[in-house]
Amino acid sequence: MHKSLIALAAAATLLLTQSPTRSLGAETNGVQNVSLEESASVSASWAPSVWPATHWSLPYVRVLVEAQILSLYEVEMLNRRIGPDGLISSAYFETYASRTLKTILPGTVLSSNSMTREQMADTLYRMITYSSYEAMPTPEQLDRDQLIWKDAEHFSGVGYQASLALRWTGIASGNDGYYHPQRLVTAAEVLTTLAKTKENRLRTPLQPAPEEPVVQTTETCTEAAAPELSTSDVNETSSGL
C-alpha cells in the first residue's frame, strides 16, 4: 500500500514537470517566468504564479495545502501548466484523491486522459467506500429522499448513483439541480471536490445528520451561522462537483 502511494505521487510529479499542455491537445501559451522560490508561505498572500488570488477555488486550494495533501510546488506547477480552468487528467485526480483518503483502488492504472464529472464521481465514490473513509447512503436512502438530477438522462450509467451519494453527503452540489455528467473536469473542480471530501465544514449536505433531526416549532428560528467560506471568497456557481 505504502509503495503504491509513493508510485502514484512520483507519476503525478513526472506528469507535472514534463507535460507541455494546458489540456489534452492544447498548447501552453504565456507561461509566467517566475521562480518557485518566489512562492509565498501558506499563511501569507500567495504570489500570482502559485494560484490566481481572484479565482473562486483559492480557499479550497489553501485547505489542501494546509492539510499537506498538495505542496505549494505542486499547486504552482498546476497553475503554470494548465491553470485553474484547464482540463486535468485522471492521473492527477487519483493521485491527489489517494492522498486525501489514504488509499488506492486495486488495479489502478494512471491515465493522462481527461475525465468527465461522471467518471470523477464514480472513482471518488468507490475510493471512499473501499477505504471506509466515511459512510455513504444506501440506494434505499437515496430512493427515500427522492434525490435526482434534472439531467439524469445524460449519465452513461456508471456514475449516477455515485453522484447522488456524493450530493447527499454534500461533497457534490451540481448547479441548479443539473450535474453535467459528460463535461470534462478542471483543476479547480478537482481540488475543490477533494477539499470538500477532506473538510466536512466546506460541505452543504441536503440531509440533516440522523442524530440531529429537524424539529418543528412555533417559535421563530434564528438563521444558522454562515460557513467559514463566505460568498465573497467562493463563487457558489462553481464549487467542484
Are 201 and 99 contacting, i.e. CB atoms less than 8 angstroms apart?
A: no
Cell of 75: 499547486
Alpha carbon separation from 98 to 47, 131, 162, 187 (Å, rounded)? 28, 10, 18, 16
Helix or strand run (H / E) with residue 23 = strand 21-23
pTM of the predicted model, to two decimals? 0.72
Residue 155 lies in a domain: yes
Residue 128 lies in a domain: yes
Nearest CA to 9 out of 63, 73, 79 is that of 73
pLDDT beyond 50 at 31: no
CA atoms of 109 and 123, how far apart (whole Å) = 12
User: Alpha-carbon distance 105 to 31, whole Å?
Assistant: 35
Q: Domain range spanning residue 121?
A: 2-20+88-202
Q: Is residue 134 part of a domain?
A: yes
Q: Is there a contact between 112 and 18 (Cβ–Cβ < 8 Å)?
A: no
In a domain, 141, yes or no: yes
Give the integer Cα–Cα distance in Å for 121 and 124. 5
Integer Cα distance of 50 and 160 in angstroms:
34
The confidence band for 47, taking pLDDT boundaries of 50, 70 and 90, is confident
What's the mean pLDDT in 34-44?
42
pLDDT tens for each residue of 94-138: 999 999 999 999 988 889 999 999 999 999 999 999 999 999 999
Structurally, how many domains does the chain consist of? 1
Task: Kindly state whether residue 185 falls inside one of the protein's structural domains.
Answer: yes
